[in-house]
């Protein structure tokens, strides 16, 4: 009811202003007068922190003074619609720039012949060499001659062990770019063909 009254009031104001009044300049924070068929109405435009403008209109009615605040929306502003529909699914794996580092962490004592064949795949090694990538295989308990975990492997072995503790099964495969960002982490594929196919997803 209030919105309908505002619409009628503003329509009447527009007609009155078009026929009997000059253009009114509205400055935020300054009170101005709106001519209506029922008499003058006082209004004030208040700027808001979010960039919108609120117009507060005060109209004298038979029952007293009526104050109506509402938001001024620019003419032609689009009405928000439903969000975009879900896509068909994840797109192709992005190919990272630069060289990649391929790390395989295994538990040598429990490694099967089939796993050993995948780890030592000639086809995979040739593909890695052709791409000038680096490859390294390490046991999960690797230590140096002093009985300490090699410094350059410590963080990666910790990552592999955390993955295993979360339910992952050895051997573990990690592919990282030159900045150390991991582009793939998971179980080493069960066959040589699957392993090579996975490498080619990142190497193009």
Q: What is the pLDDT of residues 81-104, one digit of tens each?
A: 444 444 443 433 444 557 999 999
Instruction: Check residue 92 and give its pLDDT.
Output: 39
Q: What are phi and psi of 155, to 5 degrees?
A: -65, -35
Q: Report the CATH fold assignment for 100-203.
A: Glutaredoxin (3.40.30)
Average pLDDT score over the chain: 74
Distances (CA, A) of 90 to 86, 194, 203: 10, 20, 19
Whole-prediction pTM: 0.54
Cite the residue boundaries of each domain of the chain with CATH code 3.40.30.10. 100-203
Report CA Rg, the chain: 36
- As a whole number, mean pLDDT of residues 103-127 equals 97
Report pLDDT digits (tens) over 26-53: 665 566 676 666 666 666 665 544 455 5
């Amino acid at each position: 009811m209030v919105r309908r009254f505002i619409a009628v009031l503003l329509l009447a104001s527009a007609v009155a202003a078009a026929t009997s009044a000059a253009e009114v300049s509205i400055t935020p924070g300054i009170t101005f007068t709106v001519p209506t068929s029922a008499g003058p109405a006082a209004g004030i435009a208040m700027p808001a922190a979010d960039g919108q403008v609120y117009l507060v209109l005060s109209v004298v009615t038979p029952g007293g003074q009526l104050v109506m605040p509402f938001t001024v929306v620019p003419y032609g502003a689009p009405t928000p619609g439903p969000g975009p529909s879900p896509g068909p699914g994840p797109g192709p794996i992005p190919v990272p720039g630069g060289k990649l580092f391929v790390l395989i962490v295994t538990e040598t004592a429990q490694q099967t012949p089939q796993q050993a064949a995948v780890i030592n795949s000639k086809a995979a090694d040739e593909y890695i060499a052709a791409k000038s990538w680096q490859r390294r295989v390490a046991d999960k308990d690797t230590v140096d001659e002093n009985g300490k975990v090699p410094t350059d492997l410590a963080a990666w072995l910790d990552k592999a062990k955390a993955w295993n503790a979360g339910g992952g099964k050895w051997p573990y495969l990690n592919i990282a770019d030159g900045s150390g960002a991991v582009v793939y982490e998971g179980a080493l594929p069960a066959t040589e063909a699957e392993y090579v196919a996975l490498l080619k997803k990142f190497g193009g």
